[in-house]
């Protein structure tokens, strides 16, 4: 790691979004990284691929509420009989929203089992074959061997590896490709959100929930297979309330673009929120995605105006003298945060502002976090208790506590 961060580290999507390296350092804690001796170099996220019950309406929601831009599409009109897929971007972040069209589509089976959720946390890598060769050597399960996909825009090299539950990591080398997403997708010109500034600029982290006793196994997987390193560790009392508890560890890629906190339930008096997730997602899966913004106040206002609901934070959170002392000075008055329920956490490197949405689908499973970093590279450890108490209130309303 050095102090010099040049624009050479930027992905194509980040360049297209007019982001520079310094902005990414602030937004997501991007660091310079020498990958020359890395057996599994990772550039960053390629896409978050969702399987949902109604891709057409979900994609529209992300455009109208979250201000994401539709950039590519595949479906019956483009020769894809089985499903529809909408490719959306916000800043340097890409979502692909998929839904089954043909009644026998495997996507409908995925949705019947898991509900709306993340099926593929796809990663951009410089050399798919190098990564897969290393992954196989250390015992990872490869679901789709490396192969080329080509069209008039060039060639993509790709392969797919198994991760927790039914979640997979597709590896993508797009260095020889200029199309809008993958071969078979047709570029779209989105006039709906054309002039709106993005609500978020990048994906900060994706949290995985795994079964009791399996967290260390998955931490080891990301160490061994992808060469990720530990970023932080939260165990026991840090994130326990009287009723529910969890354990969490964070692994990250060398450049810190890709960060995976991994949670498992811990034993407490009542059912952990992780258990609720595992029950309703029917196994391990992606619990929340943190979207990086440089103005969380504006982002919350935009999303609330569009009907997005956030977890409530009790007024006691803001009036607690201990918390006030710990937070210190932040860029906006505490009252501004309190009105919106935005949480604050501070560590030796700086502070962060964060807020969590309610589950985005019908099941109490996946949700979003908005995060605005000011030097802190943490994940809101100091807020876990306040957050969990808020989640427990909602669990209780659903009859699942």
Number of H helices, E strands in the chain: 12, 17
Q: Which of 345, 380, 382, 365 is nearest to 238 (CA)?
A: 382
Minimum Å gap between C-beta 371 and Fe ion is 7
Q: Does 226 bind Fe ion (CB under 5 A)?
A: no
Contact (CB, 8 A) for 91 and 201: yes
The smaller minimum CB distance to Fe ion, of residues 317 and 368, is found at 368
Candidates 115-123, 133-141, 328-336, 361-369; binding stretch for Fe ion (CB under 5 A) = 361-369
Contact (CB, 8 A) for 152 and 178: no
Q: How many CB atoms lie within 10 A of CB 358?
A: 14
φ, ψ (nearest 5 deg) of residue 379: -130, 15
Contact (CB, 8 A) for 174 and 156: yes
The smaller minimum CB distance to Fe ion, of residues 128 and 245, is found at 245
Candidates 31-39, 82-90, 113-121, 283-291; binding stretch for Fe ion (CB under 5 A) = 283-291
Minimum Å gap between C-beta 349 and Fe ion is 17
The smaller minimum CB distance to Fe ion, of residues 209 and 255, is found at 209
Build a one-symbol-per-residue string for 240-279: x at contacts with Fe ion by CB under 5 A, - elsewhere. Answer: ----------------------------------------
How far is it, in rounded angstroms, from Cα 389 to Cα 203?
26
The smaller minimum CB distance to Fe ion, of residues 10 and 387, is found at 387
The smaller minimum CB distance to Fe ion, of residues 52 and 250, is found at 250
Q: How many residues bind Fe ion (CB under 5 A)?
A: 2
Candidates 80-88, 113-121, 142-150, 289-297; binding stretch for Fe ion (CB under 5 A) = 289-297
Distance of CA 85 to the CA centre of its chain: 19
Q: Does 290 bind Fe ion (CB under 5 A)?
A: yes
DSSP 8-state code for residue 358: P
Minimum Å gap between C-beta 359 and Fe ion is 14
Contact (CB, 8 A) for 316 and 343: no
Minimum Å gap between C-beta 158 and Fe ion is 28
DSSP β-ladder status, 69-74 and 83-90: antiparallel
Candidates 217-225, 242-250, 287-295, 386-394; binding stretch for Fe ion (CB under 5 A) = 287-295
DSSP β-ladder status, 117-124 and 168-173: parallel
The smaller minimum CB distance to Fe ion, of residues 131 and 387, is found at 387
Residues contacting residue 345 through CB under 8 Å, at least 6 positions apart: 327, 351, 352, 354, 376, 378, 380, 381, 382, 383
The smaller minimum CB distance to Fe ion, of residues 173 and 392, is found at 392
- Candidate residues 120, 166, 369, 392; the one interacting with Fe ion per rule CB under 5 A: 369
The smaller minimum CB distance to Fe ion, of residues 290 and 343, is found at 290
Candidates 16-24, 173-181, 239-247, 364-372; binding stretch for Fe ion (CB under 5 A) = 364-372
Minimum Å gap between C-beta 117 and Fe ion is 17
The smaller minimum CB distance to Fe ion, of residues 120 and 369, is found at 369
Q: Does 121 bind Fe ion (CB under 5 A)?
A: no
| Cα angle value 45/49/54 (rounded, 5°) | 155
How far is it, in rounded angstroms, from Cα 287 to Cα 48?
13
Q: How many residues in the chain?
A: 401
Q: Which of 298, 233, 227, 240 is nearest to 261 (CA)?
A: 233
Candidates 21-29, 83-91, 245-253, 282-290; binding stretch for Fe ion (CB under 5 A) = 282-290
Name the site residues for Fe ion (rule: CB under 5 A): 290, 369
């Amino acid at each position: 790691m050095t102090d010099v961060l040049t624009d050479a580290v930027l992905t194509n999507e980040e360049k297209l979004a007019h982001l520079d390296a310094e902005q990414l350092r602030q937004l997501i804690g991007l660091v310079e990284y020498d990958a020359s001796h890395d057996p599994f170099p990772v550039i960053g996220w390629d896409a978050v691929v969702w399987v949902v019950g109604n891709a057409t309406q979900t994609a529209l929601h992300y455009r109208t509420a979250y201000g994401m831009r539709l950039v590519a599409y595949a479906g019956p009109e483009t020769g894809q009989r089985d499903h529809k897929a909408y490719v959306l971007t916000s800043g340097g972040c890409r979502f692909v929203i998929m839904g089954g069209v043909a009644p026998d589509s495997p996507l409908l089976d995925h949705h019947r089992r898991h509900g709306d959720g993340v099926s593929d946390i796809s990663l951009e890598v410089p050399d798919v074959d190098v990564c897969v060769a290393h992954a196989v050597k250390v015992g990872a399960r490869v679901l789709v061997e490396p192969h080329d996909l080509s069209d008039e825009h060039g060639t993509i090299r790709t392969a797919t590896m198994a991760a927790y539950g039914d979640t997979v990591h597709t590896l993508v080398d797009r260095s020889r490709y200029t199309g809008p997403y993958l071969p078979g997708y047709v570029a779209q010109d989105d006039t709906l959100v054309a002039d709106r500034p993005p609500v978020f600029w990048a994906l900060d982290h994706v949290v995985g929930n795994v079964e009791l006793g399996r967290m260390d196994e998955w931490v080891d997987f990301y160490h061994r297979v992808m060469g990720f390193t530990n970023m932080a560790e939260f165990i026991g009392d840090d994130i326990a309330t009287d009723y529910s508890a969890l354990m969490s560890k964070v692994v990250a890629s060398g450049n810190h673009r890709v960060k995976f906190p991994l949670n498992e339930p811990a034993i407490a008096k009542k059912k952990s929120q992780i258990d609720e997730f595992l029950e309703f997602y029917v196994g391990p899966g992606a619990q929340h995605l943190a979207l990086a913004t440089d103005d969380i106040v504006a982002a919350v206002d935009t999303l609330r105006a569009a009907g997005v609901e956030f977890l409530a934070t009790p007024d006691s959170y803001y009036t607690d003298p201990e918390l006030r002392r710990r937070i210190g000075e932040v860029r906006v008055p505490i009252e501004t945060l309190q009105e919106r329920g935005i949480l604050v956490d501070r560590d030796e490197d700086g502070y962060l502002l964060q807020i969590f949405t309610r589950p985005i689908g019908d099941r109490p499973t996946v949700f979003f976090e908005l995060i605005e970093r000011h030097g802190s590279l943490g994940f809101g450890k100091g807020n876990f208790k306040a957050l969990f108490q808020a989640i427990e209130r909602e669990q209780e309303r659903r009859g699942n506590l």
